[in-house]
Amino acid sequence: MRRAAAAAALAVVAATAACSASGASSGDAAPDGPRLSVTGAYVPEPPLDDMAAGYFTVANTGSEPDKLTSVTSDIAGDVSMHSTTPEGAMKEEKELPVPAGGKLELRTGGLHLMLMDLKRKPAVGDTVTFTLRFATSEPITVRAPVKPATHRNDHSHRNAH
């Protein structure tokens, strides 16, 4: 009896560790709700000392949509979400939709994060931590490497079906 209880406790600890080790998914969401994961996160090395940008993709394999409602960071006093208009102007967004069975892509020239009031200027090789908060899903912590200012994630090799 004790052996079975110990094995069950170990299984719970192992499952919990596996969920928290990924650090970039919302495994706690209801099975029929949103199921979020984050990939491709990075911060280009900023040219200014007080402002930077952040990019990533949130995939939702669940049956319900969600919304990214806020983001915080270990290096910024303020993080805001922005879109880029066709004219190239930035517009602050209160929330960003994450469609069911779809993706929210933050990328150069489109949706992005603005990190302001930097506590330190991130340099290539550093890691910036983001905490993403959603309308429905649990928060997701993302560790984004700082890349050279010229770095771009390649979104051009997607399969069209």
Query: Structural domain boundaries of the chain?
Result: 25-147
Q: What is the pLDDT along the chain (161 residues), one digit of tens a residue?
A: 433 333 333 333 333 233 333 345 555 545 679 999 999 999 999 999 999 999 999 999 999 999 999 999 999 999 999 999 999 899 999 999 999 999 999 999 999 999 999 999 999 999 999 999 999 999 999 999 999 998 776 543 333 32
User: What's the per-residue H, E or C state across the chain?
Assistant: CHHHHHHHHHHHHHHHHHHHHHCCECCCCCCCCCCEEEEEEEEECCCCCCEEEEEEEEEECCCCCEEEEEEEECCEEEEEEEEECCCCCEEEECCEEECCCCEEEECCCCCEEEEEEECCCCCCCCEEEEEEEECCCCCEEEEEEEECCCCCCCCCCCCCC
d(CA 127, CA 137): 24
CATH class entry, domain 25-147: mainly beta
